[in-house]
Amino acid sequence: MKNIKTYLALLLTVGLSACNDSFLDKKPVDLLTAEQVYNSPEAVEAYFATLYKDLPIEDFSFCNGRFGEFPANGDGYTANWTWETTNSTNAANNDENWGKLYRAVRNVNTFIKEIATVALPEATKNAYVAEARFVRAYYYQELVKYWGGVPILLEPQQVDDSNTQSLNLPRSKEAEVWDLVKSDLDFAVANLPVSSVYGRANKYVALALLSRSMLHAGSIAKFGTVQLDGLVGIDPSKATPYLQAAYDASKAIIDGGKYSLFNKYPTDKALNFQMLFFELQGNSEAIFCKGWDYESTRRTHSQDLMALPEAIRSPIGYANRLTPTLDMVERFEYMDGTPGTLNIGTPGAYVHYANPQDVFKNKDPRFFGSVISTGSSFKGVEITGQRGVIYNGVKYNGTALNQYFDIDKKQIVANPTANSVRATGNSNNGASVFWLKKWLDPARPANLCVDWSSETDWLDMRLGEVLLNFAEASFELGKPAAEALDAVNQLRTRAGIAKLTTIDRSKIRNERNVELAFENRTFWDLRRWRTLTTEFSGWIPSGLYIYYDANAKDYVFERTPNGGGKTYQLKDYYFQIPSSERSKAGSLLGNGNPGY
């Protein structure tokens, strides 16, 4: 007992006199130091995994105000607000991308700065830096596409409590940002290996990005207007060097012979074109892909859930979020090269078809590879979608999914009856009878297409685009027409439609629209060509009404306006600089971009 008292007194004395607060030193369990990172190839790879994760790859989520996993994890779906699709979500709120891109820029700048201090073989270091600069170029080309000239940061800034104002930087000119993109990519091209694992940059990936970027810069110089002393717009004199750079980079890829157009299913051109976007590992045409895969990456998206036709929608709903317009459908020519306008007659003088698919007969096989239409089959199911039924000259319009027309009662009913015909297949809008096929997983059963279940990879850069970049650069530079014609005809031959014999700007652009439909290139094409305001402001897209003629027992078609009417102004060629950033930077960012 006495001992206890002594101990108690002792404990108390020790306790009250303890001054050592090492008890409070806690260490995080998930934090690596710079030494642990830069000296380990595995950690450097992990560093790159994050840099790549932050790439603003314009995949399934593009134009939903978000970019794929950049910043969010794959929510959303492809949607341009042009004739590509009628479901358009406005990407007006891009403020958060400003901060996210600059955060990514800082990470790559930190890497470049720190790796320089590590004792590594020069070649290894160069390869690291080259890959890092490829990544940085990817970030900056996105920044400049969005906002024009932006502040250029090539080193991580250090914060100093006393003077945070000095952290604010002025915008560089648009051309200066494109020049930075070019110099980073030139370095990458010179120092990257010719091949790399799937999903990672190599020399050709850098060339493909250079081709895409320089074509964009060259177009801005050629078609745009210089404003704010070059903060947006590029002096026309720079058009040629930029286009030449695009031309050279494209040519290097084409001549390199490493890639060839995907032609795995030569006897079924439609299937071949569909599979080009699905069979990506080992694909001869794919230059740069982004992986989505549950088993190996735990990263999934919801493209199928969102875009499936109503007729086979997922048990949890959604569907129909992406429905190509009739205008888009008609951009696909017929196999013989004639214009793609559908032969449907006019109300009162309908052209009758026994089957809804007959109206698309002989269209460009790429149409069947890119678009699902009424009467075609997807995932083994016939896809339905129609406005209603015409009987004795009276139209009976359906209002919901899977309704029927009871011929005896002369009314639309919910369930089939003995003497009924299908009246609808699509609950949303009888005018939307086309759905996206490109990027949909043909194998996954529709009932398993729930949220976060899609694993389709994204094909970001492919030889097909490079050929079109080459054709356009060549044409705009005034090189011999045969060059552009040959590049376009390579694609048309692979597609299975008649070759062109002559070439002009609109033919190149139409080929691009068709070949690259739903690949999110059109969004930027219309901006760099400056045709968004001239061709799409106030424009009303068309939809297609399909009626079953219950007397003739066949189908008739009617063109109909379907949504649209959006106004585009010159200011829409750039986004506005985030207001909070302008207020912090004061005069350095001024009022931001013109027109706002």
Partner 1 sequence: MQKNLSDLKTVCGPFGHLARVFLLSGLSATLPAQAQELLAHRANLPPVSVIKPAYSQTGATAGKLQDRTVTGKVSDEKGAVLPGVNIVIKGTTRGTTTNEKGVYSLSIPNGPTTLVYSFVGYLSYEVSVENRSSLDVTLKEDAQALGEVVVVGYGTQRKVNVTGAIATVASKELVINSNNDVTNTLTGRAPGVRVVQLSSQPGKYDSQIDIRGFSYTDPNDINGNQTGGPLIIVDGVQRDKAGFDRLDPNEIESVSILKDATAAIYGVKAANGVVLVTTKKGSQGKVQVNYTTHVGQQIITRYPALSNAFQYATLYNEQQVNNNISNRAELTPPKYSAAQLADFESGKATSTDFLKAVLRDRASQQQHNLTINGGTEKLRYFASAGFFGEGGLFNSDILMGKKYNLRLNVDAELTKGLTMGANIALINSISREPSQAMWSLLKNTWQWDPTEPLYSNNDPAYLRQPLSALSHPVADFSEAYSGYNRNDEKFLTSTFQLGYVVPFVKGLSVKAQYAYDVNYNFRKQFTKKYNQYEYLFDAATQTYYQKPYLHLAPSRISEAFGQGKRNDLQLSFNYQNSFGKHNIGALGLYEQIDRVNNSNNASTQFIIDAVDQLAAGSRKTDAIGSGYSSSANMSYVGKVNYDYAGKYLIEAGFRYDGSSSFPKNSRWGFFPYFSAGWRLSEEVFVRNNLPFVSNLKLRGSYGVLGDDGIAGASFQFLTGYTYPSSGYQFGTTFVGGLGFKNSANPNITWYTSTTTNFGLEGSLWNNLLTFEADVFRRDRDGLLGDRISTIPATYGVNLPQVNLNQDRTQGFELVLGHRNKFRDINYSISANMSYARTQYRYREETPANSDYDFWRNRNAGRFNDVVWGYKTDGQFTSLEEIRNWPIMDGAGNRTILPGDIRYVDLNGDGIINNLDETVIGRGQSKPAIYFGTNITVSWKGFDISMLLQGATMYQVAYQDQLSRPFYFATANPISAFNDRWHRSDIVDATSEWIPGKYPSTGQRQNYKSNEFWRFDATYLRVKSLEVGYSLPKTLLSKAHIKGLRVFGNGYNLFTFSKGLDFVDPEYTDDRLYSYNYPLTMNVNLGLQLSF
Residue 295's CB is within 10 A of a number of other CB atoms, namely 6
Place of tokens 């909070």: 580
Q: Encode 144-205 in three state secondary structure.
A: HHHHCCCCCCCCCCCCCCCCCHHHCCCCCCHHHHHHHHHHHHHHHHHHCCCCCCCCCCCHHH
Q: Is 12 in the site for partner 1 (CB under 8 A)?
A: yes
| Structure tokens belonging to residue 410 | 């002369």
Q: Which helix (H) or strand (E) holds 377?
A: strand 377-378
Of residues 54-73, which lie at the interface with partner 1 (CB under 8 A)?
A: 69, 73
Taking the least distance from each CB to partner 1, the nearer of 282 and 393 is: 282
Q: C-beta of 367: minimal distance to partner 1 in Å?
A: 29
Taking the least distance from each CB to partner 1, the nearer of 26 and 255 is: 26
Rounded CA-CA distance 311/402 in Å is 8
Taking the least distance from each CB to partner 1, the nearer of 270 and 449 is: 449
Among 191, 427, 456, 542, binds partner 1 (CB under 8 A): 427
User: Cβ-count burial of 313 within 10 angstroms (0-12 exposed, 13-18 middle, 19+ buried)?
Assistant: buried
Cis status, amide bond into 71, omega within 30 of 0 = yes
Backbone angles phi, psi at 513, to 5 degrees: -60, -40
Q: Is 23 in the site for partner 1 (CB under 8 A)?
A: yes
Stretch of 232-240, 349-357, 444-452, 487-495 contacting partner 1, by CB under 8 A: 444-452
Q: Give the 3-state secondary structure of residue 436.
A: strand
Q: Encode 285-352 in three state secondary structure.
A: CEEEEECCEHHHHCECECHHHHHCCHHHCECCECCCCCCCCHHHHHHCCECCCCCCCCCCEECCEECC
Q: Where are the alpha helices (DSSP H) in 504-593?
A: 505-515, 522-528, 532-536, 579-585
Q: C-beta of 319: minimal distance to partner 1 in Å?
A: 9
Q: C-beta of 213: minimal distance to partner 1 in Å?
A: 21
Q: Is 594 in the site for partner 1 (CB under 8 A)?
A: no
Among 60, 70, 98, 405, binds partner 1 (CB under 8 A): 98
Q: C-beta of 138: minimal distance to partner 1 in Å?
A: 13
The CA angle 41-42-47, to the nearest 5 degrees, is 95
Taking the least distance from each CB to partner 1, the nearer of 17 and 343 is: 17
The footprint of partner 1 on this chain (CB under 8 A) covers a number of residues equal to 95
Q: Is 154 in the site for partner 1 (CB under 8 A)?
A: no
Of residues 292-321, which lie at the interface with partner 1 (CB under 8 A)?
A: 292-299, 313-317
Q: C-beta of 593: minimal distance to partner 1 in Å?
A: 15
Q: C-beta of 430: minimal distance to partner 1 in Å?
A: 10
Among 41, 553, 579, 595, binds partner 1 (CB under 8 A): 579
Rounded CA-CA distance 198/591 in Å is 43
Stretch of 78-86, 157-165, 217-225, 563-571 contacting partner 1, by CB under 8 A: 157-165
Q: Is 31 in the site for partner 1 (CB under 8 A)?
A: yes
Q: Is 18 in the site for partner 1 (CB under 8 A)?
A: yes
Stretch of 59-67, 215-223, 290-298, 494-502 contacting partner 1, by CB under 8 A: 290-298
Of residues 396-425, which lie at the interface with partner 1 (CB under 8 A)?
A: 397, 399-401, 415-418
Taking the least distance from each CB to partner 1, the nearer of 135 and 232 is: 135
Q: Which helix (H) or strand (E) holds 561?
A: strand 554-561
Q: Which helix (H) or strand (E) holds 246?
A: helix 239-256
Q: Which helix (H) or strand (E) holds 107?
A: helix 95-115
Taking the least distance from each CB to partner 1, the nearer of 77 and 523 is: 77
Of residues 71-90, which lie at the interface with partner 1 (CB under 8 A)?
A: 73
Of residues 165-184, which lie at the interface with partner 1 (CB under 8 A)?
A: 165, 167-169
Q: Give the 3-state secondary structure of residue 494.
A: helix
Provide the mask over 481-500, with x wherever binding to partner 1 is found by CB under 8 A and - wherever it is not. --------------------
Stretch of 15-23, 118-126, 301-309, 547-555 contacting partner 1, by CB under 8 A: 15-23
Provide the mask over 35-54, with x wherever binding to partner 1 is found by CB under 8 A and - wherever it is not. -xx-----x-xxxxxx-xx-
The sign one gets for the Cα dihedral 202, 207, 209, 210 is positive
Q: Is 164 in the site for partner 1 (CB under 8 A)?
A: yes
Taking the least distance from each CB to partner 1, the nearer of 61 and 82 is: 61
Of residues 548-567, which lie at the interface with partner 1 (CB under 8 A)?
A: none
End-to-end CA distance of the chain: 84
Q: Where are the alpha helices (DSSP H) in 478-570?
A: 481-495, 505-515, 522-528, 532-536
Rounded CA-CA distance 86/566 in Å is 11
DSSP states of 55-96: -----TTTTTTSBTTBSSSS-S----SSTT-S--------HH
Stretch of 322-330, 335-343, 505-513, 577-585 contacting partner 1, by CB under 8 A: 577-585
Q: Is 198 in the site for partner 1 (CB under 8 A)?
A: yes
Q: C-beta of 105: minimal distance to partner 1 in Å?
A: 6
Q: Is 93 in the site for partner 1 (CB under 8 A)?
A: no
